[in-house]
Amino acid sequence: MPFLVQFFQRAPSQRPLSVCFTLICLILLTCILLSLLIGAGSVNISQSWQALIGQGTEEATFIIRELRFPRTLVALVVGMALGIAGALMQAVARNPLAEPGLLGVSAGASFAVAIALLLGASAATLAAGVAQIGALIGCFFVMAAARLQGQFKDPVRLILAGAALSSLLTALTSILLMYDQRAADEIRFWVTGSVAGRALDHLMAVMPYFVIAALLTLYVARPLASMALGEKVALGLGHNPRTIRYLVMLSVALLAGSATAIAGPIMFVGLVVPFAARALVGPDIRRTMIMCLPIGPLMIISADILTRIIAQPTEMPLGVLTAIIGAPVLMMIVRAKRLPTLA
């Protein structure tokens, strides 16, 4: 314990990354275990435990293997994707409020999915590509809008633009859905955002995109860190800020689009996770991104566990819970003495 006290007395940027990372990973592992053990159904914790160590009833084993395990895995991947997407977007926008959900990326993905459903696709076979294209368009649109007036760095205008785009796309989506009852039924379970009921096939279908995005992210991490010192500095160090920006946007669209394709729009994760990471290890983008890897899944998995407990015997939508967690963080960021512009 004295070790921990001493640890947290240090300035965030002085804390050793490995210690932070290990700590969070331990908590994450606990959460994963809990996620496998706790459910809204009839199987209680001890039965689950039995099943987990291979001695449970058939029902319990089935529930764990076929329901809770895929669900936890999806939450793990989606959490990583959204956390990293948030960190990337905030770095490139130099704006602590930039978040895929708030900036209309999720709404863009939803809209694209609704169009695809209307054109006859089925939610089960839906290619993640559709959502990604929607996400990409949403992403570029807001960034372009903000750049037009050089308001890129004005935190509030950017998210207001995102809110405007979101409300427009949501409205269009609801018109599309009114046209087609089947599409509406298929999409209803999807629009609130949830990691439940997703098969591993869904996850496997988007895995290649996550891999591409991960490689892209690895490539841009270093130039992005130099861009934190200003575009001119980055230019002087031999990077091309414009290229970097486009690559980052592409990566964000792949990550957020794929995550949205499997789990629906989940707001605020991209805001809360980098915020927590920065609070832990300071503003350096590389350190932040590494910390986002365990913190993102931690947030989604723990929120997902809560959704099963709070509204028993039914479940609460995950998207609702993340909004309830995320909004106070948004307020905290704004409440800070000076709106931090990520330098």
Partner 1 sequence: MSVFDSTSRSYVPAPTGHWLVAIAGYSVLIDKRAIQRNALLSVALLAISVLSLGMGTLSLAPYDVLLALLGKGDSMTQFVINELRLNRLLAGIFTGAAFSVAGCLMQTVARNRLATPGIIGIDNAAMAFAVASVVGVGVSFAPSAMALTGAATATALAFMIGGGSGTRGYRFIVAGLAIGSVSAAVSQLLLTQVHIDVANEAYPWTVGSLSGRPEEQIPVMGLITLIGVLSGLVLCYRFQLMAFSDSVITALGHTPNRLRFAAVVIAIVLTGFAVALAGPVGLVALVGPEMARAFARHKGLPLLSSAICGAIVMVLADLAGRTLFSPIEIPVGVITAIVGGPFLLWILIRKPKRSTL
List phi, psi (to 5°) of 50: -55, -45
Q: Contact between 309 and partner 1 (CB under 8 A)?
A: no
Over the window 188 to 207, marking each residue x when it contacts partner 1 by CB under 8 A and - when it does not, the resulting string is ----x---------------
d(CA 272, CA 258) in angstroms, rounded, equals 19
Q: Contact between 175 and partner 1 (CB under 8 A)?
A: yes
Least distance CB 177 / partner 1 (angstroms): 10
Determine the length of the chain: 343
Within 17-127, residue ranges assigned H as helices are 17-37, 45-52, 58-62, 69-93, 105-118
Q: Residues 190, 318: contact at Cβ < 8 Å?
A: no
Least distance CB 93 / partner 1 (angstroms): 15
148, 218, 229, 237: residue in contact with partner 1 (rule CB under 8 A): 148
Residues 6 or more apart whose CB falls under 8 angstroms from that of 225 comprise: 284, 285, 286
Q: Residues 281, 288: contact at Cβ < 8 Å?
A: yes
Ranges within 38-97 binding partner 1 (CB under 8 A): 97
Per-residue CA distances from 117 to 122, 180, 188, 204, 256 (Å) = 6, 9, 12, 21, 19
Of 57 and 167, which CB lies nearer to partner 1 in the complex structure?
167
149, 204, 238, 313: residue in contact with partner 1 (rule CB under 8 A): 149
Of 135 and 272, which CB lies nearer to partner 1 in the complex structure?
272
Q: Contact between 160 and partner 1 (CB under 8 A)?
A: yes
Q: Contact between 335 and partner 1 (CB under 8 A)?
A: yes
Give contact residues for partner 1 (rule: CB under 8 A). Answer: 97, 145, 148-149, 151, 155-157, 159-161, 163-172, 174-175, 178-179, 192, 267-268, 311, 314, 316-317, 319-321, 323-324, 326-328, 330-331, 334-335, 339
